[in-house]
Chain A
Amino acid sequence: MRILILLLAGLLAMPAQAGLKIFVTVPEWGALAKEIGGDKAEVFVATTGLQDPHHIQARPSLIARTRDADLVIATGADLEIGWLPLVQRESGNPRIQPGQPGYFEAARQVRMLEMPSRLDRADGDVHAGGNPHIQTDPRNFLLVGAALAARMAELSPADAQSYAANWKSFAERWRVALARWEKQAAPLRGLPIAVQHKAFPYLQDWLGLKDVATLEPKPGVEPSVAYLGKLLAQVAANPPKLVMRAAYQSPQAAEWFGREAKVPVVVVPFTVGGSDKAKDLFGLFDDTIERLLAALK
């Protein structure tokens, strides 16, 4: 009993944290929230760049971390549907439920690509809200970030000025970087590529890459060697110059295809933490473009 009382007293005596407590589902929005929040936000990221964002479990630690969060930042478009709704319900936290200001979906701020014209699981693991991997186009960060900065200011008016200033500074640096990346990536325009998973439509849209082959027969379905062989024959007339896969994905299919088609395999970090150089958002795109350009040589 005495231990219990001590424990309870300890819980109540915990110092109140300054700024917002933010729970983020994936590393890219975590990095963005840190840029905007600065020292006025405590950011917890639920996953790493080496985890498949489609297959995350509602781990006990995630329930504990959402319990006191002021804001949950998710990608949305059903990317987190396998675990986040459960974590939100179990958290007992009214502020971060869907529809509340404390729940923010990045995908709502941008133009979605690959909206399915029909919804049928016969088409594999399709997302009804469009392709959720919006973080591969850096221009989307300007849209998501502006909305996020406004939301954070709404939730913590005392820190609004700080968030606005941080956001302005980030957006300025980001625009400069965007111009630089676009200039660097100019040789990639129109480049035919193969992708392992339909994870890069936004990157392709940004850099003008053309995917001529997708190794997965259906989204989320692993290709067989027979299927890859067929694919190889199909693209013989218009062969891709490289095969691209995200860091979290299994290397086998891309490596087989790269070997057979005699093209380099490019492992892009996909999100912050997906490679050693992708330590922050700037590093993410520096590294992505560097790796793509390296494959051209």
Chain B
Amino acid sequence: MNRTSLIVLAASGVLASFPASVFAADADSNSLNALREEIAQMKQAYEQRIAALESRLVQTEAKAGNAEVSARQASVAASQKPASESAFNPAISLVLAGTYTRLSQDPNTYAIGGFAPTGGEVGPSRRSFGLGESELGIAANISPTLRGQLTLALPPEGGAEVEEAFIQTLGLGQGATLKAGRFLSGIGYMNGQHAHTWDFADAPLAYKAMLGGQLKNDGAQIKWVAPTDLLVELGAEAASGGAFPSTDRNQNGATLGALFAHVGGDAGVSNSWRAGLSLLGTSPRDRQYEDADSTGTAVTNAFSGRSRTWIADAIWKWAPNGNGVERNLIVQGEYFRRKETGNMAFDTAGANLVDDYASRQSGFYAQTVYQFMPHWRAGYRYDRLDSGNVSLGGTLNPADFPLLAAYKPKRNTVMVDYSPDHFSRWRLQLARDQSRPGAIDNQLWLQYAVSLGAHGAHSY
């Protein structure tokens, strides 16, 4: 017998004996079936429990995800606008203003004693009802790096005047910004702001006497913000000049230069402030103004020389917790100091006497505006100028320059304004103006200024 047959034999023996043993245990077969059934039942029960656990797990996961799902609810609907040529229209804003004015003196005789007239619009507006300057603004980004803005002033007499038209870089980097075109100069505090945002109906006397109202430049400006938490802003401007205190020189170089520095920050959460120092330099040639000589004859005089104006400005704003909606307080002031040296031509059309001229003149205003309840503000402003000493060369007779006779103009102004919303303001302003020597002008303004269309951000 070989080995294989032995194994087969053994296997068959085992097989043969097995059924026998089963039959032998026949009596237990029922209990075995019961056992099998029990096992099957247990298996089923476990499977059910596992399924239940699994479904609970899924539910829990779903629940966890639920918050996210509900947050996504209907998610971010991509709002698509229909394509249109006008989709790129720039932002358009319009300021409308009107006044009712009562003046005790004739506005046509307005002059600031001791100071050469600037030729700017410095007098009070005409008496009775008057239309203020409407202001049309158009602005938009030109490219990712450039923005353009046009502001047209529409005087009531008709026509249009380009108040501002400039391009400005959008982040040149390193805190630098370049501006070119016609723009409000960055000197002083109020100069860079549009007149309708001022807190009083008219400009301070110092602005009227020193800058002819507001200095606008045709030129370029560079401004740099220092990388500090305190605002340190330095700027320089070069311009062709043209308006007071400069004149058109018909030369290739710049005839007016300005430098300014601003420092500003917060003092706690309720206070913020800014202070600045500016220098304006120009060399006007043949800057003419009208006067009457010692005999009362109308003459035209002209100044040529150097003009340097320093301006120191400061503003401080307070609001409880920095929330100015209910109450807030603004205190601001600017001090001007101007030195002019050169020569003066008396009666350019006639005698044309030319001799030395030198003057040191100064002036300031200080004002405060308090919002005492929502929408209502009250303010007070004090103006003071000092014509200083004007020294004229020997050939010139001071009596021939009555407008330059030493004088210290002053003015007291109070106002109350009401702004029912962001876009409109009503103002009542009273002033006792002693700009003219020997005459007191009691002035009353009732004014509205409203803003339509796009409403740009206001500067500080």
Contacts and interface: CB of A to CB of B under 8 A. Distances in A.
B75 A111 contact: yes
Counting contact residues on chain A (CB < 8 A from B), the size range is: 35 or more
Contacts of B75: 111
Contacts of A220: 421-422
Nearest to A66: B225
Contacts of B229: 61, 64-65
Interface stretch (A82-90, A162-170, A275-283): A82-90
A82 B67 CA distance: 34
A94 B145 contact: yes
B225 A81 contact: no
A250 interface: yes
A55 B325 contact: yes
B170 A89 contact: yes
Contact of A139 (B71, B144, B168, B420): B71
B458 A90 contact: no
Please indicate which of the listed interface residues A47, A92, A93 has the most CB atoms of chain B within 10 Å of its own CB.
A92
B428 interface: no
Interface string A97-112: 1111000000011110
Contacts of A93: 171, 173, 175
A50 B232 CA distance: 28
Interface in B200-246: 223-233
A84 B458 CA distance: 10
A248 B323 contact: yes
B148 interface: no
Interface in A127-146: 139-140, 142-143
A55 B324 contact: yes
Contact of A143 (B72, B224, B262, B273): B72
A211 to B, nearest CB: 19
Nearest to B263: A60
B194 interface: no
Nearest to A171: B68
Contacts of B174: 92
A292 B325 CA distance: 26
Contact of A90 (B77, B225, B323): B225
Contact of B266 (A61, A98, A109, A222): A61
Contacts, number: 162
Please indicate which of the listed interface residues B170, B171, B325, B458 has the most CB atoms of chain A within 10 Å of its own CB.
B171
A51 interface: yes
Contacts of B421: 124-125, 220-221
Contacts of A94: 145, 170-173
A58 interface: yes
B177 interface: yes
A111 B274 contact: no
B156 interface: no
Interface residues of B, number: 65
Contact of B177 (A57, A64, A82, A89): A89
B317 interface: yes
Contacts of A61: 229-231, 264-266, 272
A221 to B, nearest CB: 6
B227 A82 contact: no
Contacts of A259: none
A82 B458 contact: yes
B459 A60 contact: no
Contacts of B262: 60
Contacts of A143: 71-72, 76
Contact of A92 (B147, B175, B263, B326): B175
B455 interface: yes
A178 B64 CA distance: 10
Contacts of A250: 325-326, 374
A178 B68 CA distance: 10
B323 A85 contact: no
Interface in B63-118: 63-64, 67-68, 70-77
A222 B458 contact: no
B393 interface: no
B231 A63 contact: yes
B67 A179 contact: yes
B398 interface: no
A170 B45 CA distance: 40
Contacts of A90: 177, 223, 225
B67 A139 contact: yes
B325 A68 contact: no
Nearest to A108: B76
A91 B458 CA distance: 15
Contacts of B147: 89
A98 B325 CA distance: 28
B269 interface: yes
B459 A58 contact: yes
Interface string A194-235: 000000000000000000000000001110000000000000
Contacts of A11: 226-228
Contacts of A260: none
Given A84-B457, A85-B457, A97 B227 contact: no
Nearest to A87: B457
Given A48-B322, A81-B457, A82-B457, A97 B68 contact: no
Contacts of A88: 170-171
Interface of A: 11, 14, 47-48, 50-52, 55, 57-61, 63-65, 67-68, 81-100, 108-111, 121, 124-125, 139-140, 142-143, 175, 178-179, 220-222, 248, 250
18 contacts: A47-B322, A48-B269, A57-B324, A60-B263, A60-B265, A61-B231, A61-B264, A61-B266, A61-B272, A63-B225, A64-B230, A68-B175, A90-B177, A90-B223, A110-B76, A111-B75, A143-B76, A248-B323
- By Cβ-Cβ distance, the 10 closest A-B pairs, closest first, are A60-B264, A94-B171, A139-B71, A86-B457, A60-B231, A64-B231, A92-B175, A50-B321, A51-B323, A178-B67
